[in-house]
Chains A and B, each alone.
Chain A
Amino acid sequence: MTTTSVPTAAALALGDDALVLSHRLGEWAGHAPVLEEEVALANIALDLLGQARVLLSLAGDEDELAYLREERAFTNLQLVEQPNGDFAHTIARQLYFSTYQHLLYAELAAADGPFAPLAAKAVKEVAYHRDHAEQWTLRLGDGTDASHERMQRACETLWRFTGEMFRPVAGLDADWPGMESTWVEAVGDVLRRATLTVPEGPRSGAWAAGAGRQGLHTESFGRMLAEMQHLHRSHPGASW
């Protein structure tokens, strides 16, 4: 472990990604299409929550950061706050994000920075998330006409949120352009094997989305936060 001080903004950015996606996946509890997926999505959410707790604790008090910040103080990617939609939407979001997180954590684990211990641990967990998303993408894309159509629609809808992932985060030592080209290639390969068309829409520029890292979020995020923070705000300091 190095003595490098922790870049707080970077810890918040990564912690918020994990926390927000964890909450979204938790919303599937009781609604997943089959029991195995109910369990799988909850387990992935739990892994992400564990990562979020470590990351937010590097930046301050985890509970205060999770439950008492306003929307504009969260710096998660807009991708992870997108509503679950149908199962295909959730899988497309998982595919895009897990692939990114897997590449990023692998880089952070290899670098000797303050995030190396967590990244070395989490990269192995995320490998299973990525595999889960890839297998479902293949199954839905190369499944029935209905599942193919829904999966294609989900991939298209979320595509414009994927450029934001590769804008450099201050304090994180990573090869962002290199990661982006690896990501485009890897995701493209999965989509093609799933008989899906790689979306052609913009991933950056005026018509792309993504200012989550600057604290600007999409409409549904406020509602998600209201639900996530309600209990803690109503009963300050309450614990199980």
Chain B
Amino acid sequence: MVTTTPLEAELLELAGSVPDPELPVLTLHELGVLRAVHVHGPDSVEVELTPTYTGCPAVEAMSLDIERILHEHGVRDVTVRRVLAPAWSTDDITDEGRRKLREFGIAPPRTGRAAGPVGLQLGPTRTLDREAGEAGEAADPIRCPHCDSADTELLSRFSSTACKALRRCLSCREPFDHFKEL
């Protein structure tokens, strides 16, 4: 582990306070996409940023926002470097971030799960059941962020952005986004 200087910790906190351009309720720190800040010399700072999805278009806006806030703090030379490894996972979203997502009306991703799709019931058109997936679903259901009901169904695997799925609550009938596990 590389030691972090107090200045680097301070700048990391500053960069981490930037709101996510697509989900402005979350900061980059809460989203877990900031990997490190390295101070290379007086006025020269490198920030390591990891994308949520490989093609996430928000990365460019994030980079600009980080540069802006560090410039405002007096750092003249800011480089934001995109790093892929270790890959970001929804487990990197902080507890506070999860709470904010739910409050914002987005069901947060479930933690500590094997990555990948979860078997789900598709409605209204008939589809074949996937036993294993359903067993897992029953054990850890995706809850409605509005009324907390566990009785929800998938409408579409891909919602307004690649990182979300569109679901509907069968109790309060509200549609909602679910931040997919990755």
A residues at B contact (CB < 8 Å)? 1, 36-37, 39-40, 42-44, 46-51, 53-54, 116-118, 120-122, 124-125, 127-128, 130-132, 135, 138-139, 142-143, 193-194
User: 25 A–B contact pairs at CB < 8 A?
Assistant: A1-B85, A36-B155, A36-B156, A39-B158, A44-B162, A46-B57, A47-B55, A47-B162, A50-B54, A51-B54, A116-B85, A117-B85, A120-B85, A120-B87, A121-B54, A124-B87, A124-B115, A124-B182, A125-B53, A128-B116, A128-B158, A128-B180, A131-B117, A135-B122, A139-B126
What residues of chain A lie closer than 8 Å to B155, measured between beta carbons? 36
Instruction: From known contacts A46-B162, A47-B55, A50-B55, infer whether A39 and B125 are also in contact, taking CB-CB under 8 Å.
Output: no
Interface residue count for B (Cβ, 8 Å)? 31
Instruction: From known contacts A46-B55, A47-B54, infer whether A117 and B156 are also in contact, taking CB-CB under 8 Å.
Output: no
Q: Is the CB of B157 within 8 A of A131?
A: yes
Q: Is the CB of A125 within 8 A of B127?
A: no
**Is B23 close to A, CB under 8 A?**
no
Expressed in whole angstroms, the minimum distance between the Cβ of A17 and any Cβ of chain B is 14
What residues of chain A lie closer than 8 Å to B158, measured between beta carbons? 36, 39-40, 42-44, 128, 132
**Is B108 close to A, CB under 8 A?**
no
Docked complex Cα distance between A128 and B158 (Å): 9
Expressed in whole angstroms, the minimum distance between the Cβ of B60 and any Cβ of chain A is 11
Which 9 pairs from chain A and chain B are nearest by CB? A50-B55, A50-B54, A117-B85, A131-B117, A36-B156, A40-B158, A43-B158, A127-B116, A117-B84
Q: Is the CB of B55 within 8 A of A138?
A: no
Q: Is the CB of A40 within 8 A of B156?
A: yes
Docked complex Cα distance between A43 and B180 (Å): 13
Instruction: From known contacts A46-B55, A53-B55, A121-B84, infer whether A128 and B125 are also in contact, taking CB-CB under 8 Å.
Output: no
What residues of chain A lie closer than 8 Å to B126, measured between beta carbons? 139, 142-143
A-B contact count (CB 8 A): 95
Q: Is the CB of A50 within 8 A of B156?
A: no
The closest CB in chain A to the CB of B160 belongs to A39
The closest CB in chain A to the CB of B50 belongs to A121
What residues of chain B lie closer than 8 Å to A193, measured between beta carbons? 128
What residues of chain B lie closer than 8 Å to A51, measured between beta carbons? 54-55
Q: Which chain B residues (151-182) contact chain A, with CB distance < 8 Å?
A: 155-162, 166, 180, 182
What residues of chain B lie closer than 8 Å to A53, measured between beta carbons? 54-55
Docked complex Cα distance between A49 and B162 (Å): 12
Docked complex Cα distance between A40 and B159 (Å): 7
Which of B86, B128, B182 contacts A138, CB < 8 Å?
B128
Q: Is the CB of B156 within 8 A of A54?
A: no
Which of A50, A132, A139, A194 contacts B157, CB < 8 Å?
A132
Expressed in whole angstroms, the minimum distance between the Cβ of A1 and any Cβ of chain B is 6
**Is B61 close to A, CB under 8 A?**
no
Expressed in whole angstroms, the minimum distance between the Cβ of A196 and any Cβ of chain B is 12
Q: Is the CB of B115 within 8 A of A127?
A: yes
Q: Is the CB of A139 within 8 A of B166?
A: no
Expressed in whole angstroms, the minimum distance between the Cβ of B67 and any Cβ of chain A is 18
**Is B97 close to A, CB under 8 A?**
no
